Structure formats: structure tokens, C-alpha cells
């Protein structure tokens, strides 16, 4: 026994494994408490008082959202600006906006969006990332999708496309018709607008700015 | 099965699990082929079996066959390790049929119903629509019950019988495996919270509990197949557990870079996920070291026979040592740092890593366990390679490596064109997808997928017939 080294002792390694696992687990649980507080959804009061939340409340759909470079943080962050009409209104109450967001999030799961698209970068890679889809120039006033769908606003163009994707082919890889109703489409667009307001630490980088950069010197 | 040499009921149950796992493995490859064809010909089965459904079936079949093969592996090794018959064998058999029937129902719903209205009935009865854990909630609860029954069998047997290091590790690991599933069973409107807990299931399963499971199986395999010294093997196992949990638990941070979570996850995720390849190097060395040590010991005694009593299984185990390190370790490390991941996240890079990692780290060793079961079922003293087993291992491995290389190239195109140049918009995305290099890469992925599927046909043939083959020593 005298010559036996601790390095070849199974009990030493068993204890090491237990301590390392325990330590890592406790650290993870502690970080989870901190993160949970930081990613909890904000509310209407925060938005009215200009308090920035990583995940703003559902009434963010009453406001204009942009994605701007933050000199302090060194990457782009969502900026919530002045009031903006969403399906003709900018006075959705906390309950109304919450119900729309609920319908949209549920709809995104019921229609399996994540098995073609990525949301917050997670999902499948068969179709474009939807993290900041609300801010995509394609849906903007000069974008191709408003003209294609014959609608006057971003949200109406998006809702129309979601209900009849097979009528508006943008690529050979067409989105199938998933039986999305008008109400569900409205919820899904609210969900997309809300998601674009989430602070994703600058992901995706340079979103929307480099459009046409190849030929547009 | 005729000519059955199994006296242990636990081992017989294990063969049920392995058989069902192999069938689902085939289904996984079939639906993978459909999805690969859709990348090349987007009109293929449009409106009938869309990409989203093919992909659900491809990925869920992968998870299910691996879980089945894991349960099978545990039922197989329990009598050997504990020295007694598994305690609740009747319960185990009942749970097998419940689990298998539930999966058939879920698959039929995916194929025939596919999507539902945006209300709770869809979540309960059709799909939860959350990548990898799409199973409807009724099935979730079923899975929890089945997993708890399995864990109960493992614990009751482990407590009653001999507790080796391998059994002790499995007991701790499988309770974490079952418990973590609960983190993915709720609905929230907050997608950041949703993703936060979703990764507790996905990451902590795959990069922590599954890897520790593989360590235990590798340890068992080395003792069984080459007669490696238990004390040495179990010492490696404990070192691996320390390293795997030490890096894997906080390595969770690499999924928290961009989902709305605070910036401190950049540093935590970068540090711990950079450590994640280390235990895989250890597992790699472990297998080759023990093999060399045992063979060398024989040669020192003047014997020149191989110490391996199951050549096909051992081939798959060695492939596991390589594949785990390459697929999970190297391909994972490629894009794990936030500075790189900002551009590579959500591109075919992830898919390349996923294909090689799941194959290298899990498929290989589980197929190896199937060969060990075939050897035991047929009472073979030494199992050799057959033509079919060599074709199977070559074509499956070659196919998966080919797919990985193709997807890596596709990922490069996406990063350069869609992300760096075009800024990740809708138009930028399709510019990347329309690039010639991307299209060629997807053609190659399909070809290599077909090669993999052919390899599977050889594998199925070999698993079914090799027991009767006269080349083996009885």
C-alpha cells in the first residue's frame, strides 16, 4: 500500500467525478436564476417608461422597431421607437397584445415552423432565419413582397403570404400551404414582430444592411 | 429466433429493443433521403410529405432508435455486470410494447395529420412543434412513464446485485437522462425562456448524459470483447465522467449566445465548450490503449491470436472512438466560439457537425452493441467479419463522412454569401442557397446519403443472417 499512487486509485477518480459534476451543476443552477430574471418578459409600463428589457412585453407591437449599432456594446441591438400602426391600430392593450402573441407562438409550434426555418438561429436550414424577419427589407415599403402580395403594409403583406404561401413563390423551394387562418396569420405576424424586438446580442450581424452590396457601390 | 442461446430474460428483452431500434434506424435513413432529395428537387412530394415532416421523422426516428438501443444495451449488460437477472423483467416487457405502440401512433399522426390549428389540442395530440422534441404531450407523459419504469428496473437490479463502477455510473446517468426530459414539457409565450429550457433537454442529454452513457458502454465492451482489465477500464471511466460532466454541463453556454440571454454566456460557453473535446480525446485513447495493452500482453506470452472475440462489434467501437472525437469534438469545436458562431449559427455547418457527431458518438457504438447481442444470441465464441459486415461498415462510414464534407462546404458558402456578404436577410439567404457550390454540395450530400442507405441494407442483412454463417467460431 505504501507505494500506491493516488493517480491510479479509482476512489480518487470517483470522488473527483462527483465533486466536478456537483460543482458544475450548482454553478449552472445559480446562473439559471440570474438568466431567468434577465429574460423574463417585460410589460407595458416598461415600454411606456422607456425601460429596456431583453425580451420586451407583448405591447411592443404598438411601436416601431429598428435594429441599430450600439457603440457601447459593439454590436446591433433592437431599438424601440415611436408608435407605429399594426393592422391599423397602435393602442393594443396588454391583454390584447398578449393574446395575439400567445396565438402566434402557439401557431408557430402547431405549424412546425422550426422544421424548415430557424428562430433565434435554431431550427432547420431549409428556409430563411425568422429572428429579425419583421425587419427584413423585403417586406418594407420598397420591398418585393408588398408589391407581390398587393398589400400596403408590412403586416398585411406578411399575413397574406402566410395564408397563401403557395400563391407567392419566391424561390423554387416553396413554402407549403399550412391552412393558416386570417386570425392565426395575425398572431404569427405579432409573434414575428415581438421576436424582432428581442435582444439577441447582435445576431444576425449586419442584418438587412448589406442588401445589394455587390452591385450597389 | 431459432437456435437461441440466451438464458437471461434481460438479454432476450434487449434483443427486442435492438430489433425495433434497427427498424427505426432504417426509417431514419429513408426520411433523411426524402429530405435530401427535396434540397435538390424542391418539388419532390410538395404538399404530400413536405420537408418539415420528412425532417421531423428523420430526426425523431434518430432520437427514438438511439434511446431504444440504449435501453437495449442496458438490459443486455445488466446481468453480466450485476451477476443477477434484471428484477422487473415483466414490467420491462410491458413498457417495451407501450413504447413501441406509442411511437407507431405518433408516426402515423405525423404522416397523416401533420399540422393542426393554433390551439392546445395540437400541442396535446398532434405535435409540440419544438425541434427534436415534437412528440405531442400525451406521448411526452408516456415517455416519462416508460423512462421511469426503465430507471426503476436499473436501480432495483443495481441495488440487489453487484455494483460495479459501470453500473454505478449508469444509475447516476440514467436518472439524470430521465429527469432532464421534464425540462422540455411546458408551453410559454416567451421564446427566449422556451429555448433556454429546451436546451436543457437537448444539450444536457446529448453532450452530457448520452456521452457518459457511451463511456459506460465502451467500458463494458472493452471488458467483454478483448478482456480488458476491469480496474483500468473503470479508472478511465471515472476520469471520463469527471471530464464529460465538467465540460459538458456548463458547455451548455454555447447555445446561449443569441437567444436573448445575457452576454456572460459568451465567456462561459466559449471556455467550457472549448474543453468539451478533451474527454473525447480521453475516450479515444482509452479504447486504443486498452486494445494495445491487452493484445501486447498476449503477444508477450508468445501467443499471436487476436484478443478480439467479436470483430464487427469491435470495428464499430473503434469507429466510435474516432467518430466521437472527430464529429463531436473537432466538428463541434469548429464553430463553438462566439466570434465564429455569430456567422455559422444556424447554417449547414451545424448540420455537418450533427451528422458526423450523432453517427460517430452514438450510432457506431449502438450498432456495436447490436453485434454483441447477435454474438450472444447465437452463442458464438469468436465472431468474424463477413462480406456484408465489411460492406456495411465501409459504406455507412464512407457515406456519413461524405455527407459531412458536403455539408461543411455548403456551410462555408452560406457563411460567406448569406451571412458575411448579404447580412442574413430573406434575399441573402436564397442568394447563398442558389450558389453553384452550395447546389453541388447538396447533390453530393444526396449521393452520399444514398451510399449510407445501401450500407444500412448490408447491415440489416448481416445482423439477420450472420449468426448462421459458418465463418464464426462456435
Task: Name which of A110, A124, A171 is nearest B116 (Cβ-Cβ).
Answer: A110
Query: What's the pTM?
Result: 0.95
Beta pairing partners, A58: none
* Closest residue on chain A to B123 (Cα): A110
**Tens place of pLDDT per residue across chain A (217 aa):** 567 788 888 999 999 999 999 999 999 999 999 999 999 999 999 999 999 999 999 999 999 999 999 999 999 999 999 999 999 999 999 999 999 999 999 999 999 999 999 999 999 999 999 999 999 999 998 889 999 999 999 999 999 999 999 999 888 999 999 999 999 999 999 999 999 999 999 999 988 876 554 444 3
> HSE of B45 in the Cβ direction (CA atoms, 13 Å)?
17
- DSSP H/E element including A160: helix A154-163
- Nearest C-alpha of chain A: how many angstroms from B4? 38
* Closest residue on chain B to A103 (Cα): B118
Q: Are A171 and B433 an interchain contact pair (Cβ–Cβ within 8 Å)?
A: yes
Dihedrals phi, psi of B83, to nearest 5 degrees: 80, 5
B427 contact residues in A (CB cutoff 8 A): 137-138, 211
Question: Around Cβ B182, how many Cβ atoms within 10 Å?
Answer: 14
Decide if B176 contacts B209 (C-beta within 8 A): yes
- Say if domain A52-197 classifies as CATH 1.10.760: yes
CA pair distance B273, B269, nearest whole angstrom: 6
Task: Please compute the mean of the pLDDT values over residues B440-464 and round it to a whole number.
Answer: 98
Domain ranges of chain A: 10-35, 52-197
B5 — pLDDT class (breaks 50, 70, 90): confident
ipTM: 0.95
CA pair distance B255, B336, nearest whole angstrom: 9
- DSSP H/E element including B284: helix B277-300
> Could you report the per-residue pLDDT of B330-380, keeping only the tens digit for each?
999 999 999 999 999 999 999 999 999 999 999 999 999 999 999 999 999
> What pLDDT, on a 0 to 100 scale, did the predictor assign at position A166?
93
> Could you report the per-residue pLDDT of B17-33, keeping only the tens digit for each?
999 999 999 999 999 99
Instruction: Give which of B418, B70, B160 is closest to A205, Cα–Cα.
Output: B418
Instruction: Give which of B139, B174, B138 is closest to B153, Cα–Cα.
Output: B174
- A75 secondary structure, DSSP code: E
Hey, is B256 helix, strand or coil? coil
- A143 secondary structure, DSSP code: S
Q: Are B249 and A24 an interchain contact pair (Cβ–Cβ within 8 Å)?
A: yes
Dihedrals phi, psi of B139, to nearest 5 degrees: -70, -35
CA-based R_g, chain B, Å? 22
CA pair distance B228, B219, nearest whole angstrom: 9
- Nearest C-alpha of chain A: how many angstroms from B387? 37
> What pLDDT, on a 0 to 100 scale, did the predictor assign at position A216?
41
CA pair distance B257, B341, nearest whole angstrom: 9
CA pair distance B93, B98, nearest whole angstrom: 9
Residues 6+ apart with CB under 8 A from A136: A143, A208, B425, B426
Amino acid at each position: 500500500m505504501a507505494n500506491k499512487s493516488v493517480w491510479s486509485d479509482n476512489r480518487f477518480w470517483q470522488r473527483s467525478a462527483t465533486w466536478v459534476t456537483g460543482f458544475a451543476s450548482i454553478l449552472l443552477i445559480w446562473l439559471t436564476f440570474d438568466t431567468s430574471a434577465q429574460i423574463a418578459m417585460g410589460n407595458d409600463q416598461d415600454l411606456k417608461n422607456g425601460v429596456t428589457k431583453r425580451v420586451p412585453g407583448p405591447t411592443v407591437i404598438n411601436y416601431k422597431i429598428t435594429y441599430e449599432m450600439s457603440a457601447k456594446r459593439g454590436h446591433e441591438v433592437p431599438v424601440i421607437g415611436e408608435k407605429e400602426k399594426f393592422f391599423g391600430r397602435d393602442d393594443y392593450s396588454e391583454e390584447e397584445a398578449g393574446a395575439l402573441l400567445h396565438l402566434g407562438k402557439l401557431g408557430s409550434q402547431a405549424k412546425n415552423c422550426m422544421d424548415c426555418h430557424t428562430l433565434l438561429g435554431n431550427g432547420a436550414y431549409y428556409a430563411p432565419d425568422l429572428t429579425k424577419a419583421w425587419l427584413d427589407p423585403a417586406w418594407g415599403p420598397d420591398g418585393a413582397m408588398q408589391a407581390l402580395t398587393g398589400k400596403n403594409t408590412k403586416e398585411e403583406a406578411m399575413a397574406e403570404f402566410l395564408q397563401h404561401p403557395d400563391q407567392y413563390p419566391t424561390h423554387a423551394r416553396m413554402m407549403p400551404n399550412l391552412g393558416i387562418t386570417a386570425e392565426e396569420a395575425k398572431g404569427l405576424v405579432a409573434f414575428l414582430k415581438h421576436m424582432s424586438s428581442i435582444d439577441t446580442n447582435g445576431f444576425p450581424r449586419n442584418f438587412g444592411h448589406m442588401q445589394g452590396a455587390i452591385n450597389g457601390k | 429466433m431459432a437456435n437461441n442461446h440466451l438464458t437471461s430474460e434481460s438479454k432476450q428483452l434487449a434483443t427486442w429493443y435492438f430489433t425495433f431500434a434497427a427498424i427505426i434506424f432504417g426509417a431514419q435513413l429513408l426520411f433523411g433521403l426524402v429530405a435530401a432529395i427535396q434540397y435538390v428537387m424542391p418539388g419532390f412530394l410538395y404538399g404530400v410529405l413536405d420537408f418539415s415532416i420528412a425532417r421531423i421523422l428523420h430526426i425523431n426516428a434518430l432520437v427514438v432508435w438511439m434511446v431504444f438501443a440504449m435501453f437495449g444495451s442496458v438490459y443486455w449488460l445488466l446481468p453480466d455486470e450485476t451477476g443477477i437477472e434484471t428484477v422487473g423483467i415483466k414490467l420491462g416487457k410491458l413498457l417495451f410494447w407501450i413504447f413501441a405502440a406509442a411511437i407507431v401512433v405518433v408516426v402515423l399522426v405525423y404522416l397523416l395529420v401533420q399540422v393542426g390549428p393554433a390551439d392546445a389540442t395540437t400541442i396535446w395530440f398532434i405535435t409540440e412543434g419544438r425541434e427534436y422534441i415534437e412528440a405531442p404531450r400525451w406521448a411526452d407523459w408516456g415517455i416519462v412513464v416508460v423512462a421511469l419504469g426503465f430507471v426503476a428496473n436499473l436501480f432495483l437490479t443495481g441495488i440487489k446485485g453487484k455494483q460495479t463502477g459501470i453500473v454505478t455510473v449508469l444509475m447516476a446517468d440514467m436518472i439524470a437522462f430521465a429527469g432532464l426530459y421534464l425540462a422540455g414539457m411546458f408551453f410559454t409565450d416567451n421564446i427566449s425562456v422556451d429555448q433556454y429550457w429546451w436546451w436543457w433537454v437537448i444539450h444536457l442529454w446529448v453532450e452530457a448524459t448520452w456521452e457518459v452513457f457511451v463511456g459506460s458502454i465502451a467500458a463494458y465492451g472493452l471488458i467483454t470483447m478483448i478482456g480488458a482489465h476491469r480496474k483500468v477500464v473503470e479508472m478511465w471511466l471515472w476520469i471520463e465522467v469527471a471530464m464529460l460532466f465538467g465540460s459538458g454541463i456548463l458547455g451548455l453556454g454555447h447555445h446561449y449566445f443569441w437567444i436573448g440571454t445575457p452576454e456572460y454566456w459568451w465567456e462561459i460557453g466559449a471556455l467550457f465548450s472549448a474543453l468539451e473535446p478533451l474527454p473525447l480525446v480521453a475516450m479515444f485513447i482509452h479504447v486504443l490503449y486498452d486494445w494495445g495493452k491487452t493484445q501486447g500482453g498476449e503477444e508477450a506470452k508468445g501467443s499471436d491470436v487476436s484478443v478480439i472475440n467479436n470483430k464487427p462489434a469491435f470495428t464499430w467501437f473503434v469507429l466510435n472512438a474516432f467518430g466521437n472525437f472527430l464529429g463531436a469534438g473537432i466538428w463541434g469545436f469548429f464553430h463553438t466560439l462566439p466570434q465564429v458562431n455569430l456567422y455559422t449559427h444556424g447554417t449547414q455547418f451545424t448540420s455537418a457537425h450533427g451528422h458526423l457527431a450523432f453517427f460517430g458518438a452514438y450510432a457506431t457504438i449502438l450498432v456495436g452493441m447490436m453485434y454483441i447481442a447477435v454474438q450472444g444470441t447465437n452463442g458464438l465464441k469468436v465472431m468474424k467479419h463477413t462480406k456484408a459486415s465489411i460492406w456495411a461498415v465501409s459504406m455507412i462510414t464512407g457515406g456519413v463522412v461524405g455527407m459531412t464534407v458536403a455539408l461543411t462546404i455548403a456551410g462555408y458558402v452560406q457563411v460567406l454569401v448569406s451571412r458575411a456578404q448579404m447580412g442574413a436577410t430573406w434575399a441573402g439567404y436564397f442568394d447563398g442557397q442558389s450558389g453553384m457550390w452550395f447546389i453541388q454540395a447538396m447533390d453530393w450530400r444526396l449521393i452520399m446519403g444514398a451510399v449510407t442507405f445501401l450500407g444500412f441494407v448490408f447491415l440489416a442483412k448481416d445482423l439477420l443472417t450472420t449468426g448462421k454463417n459458418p465463418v464464426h467460431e462456435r
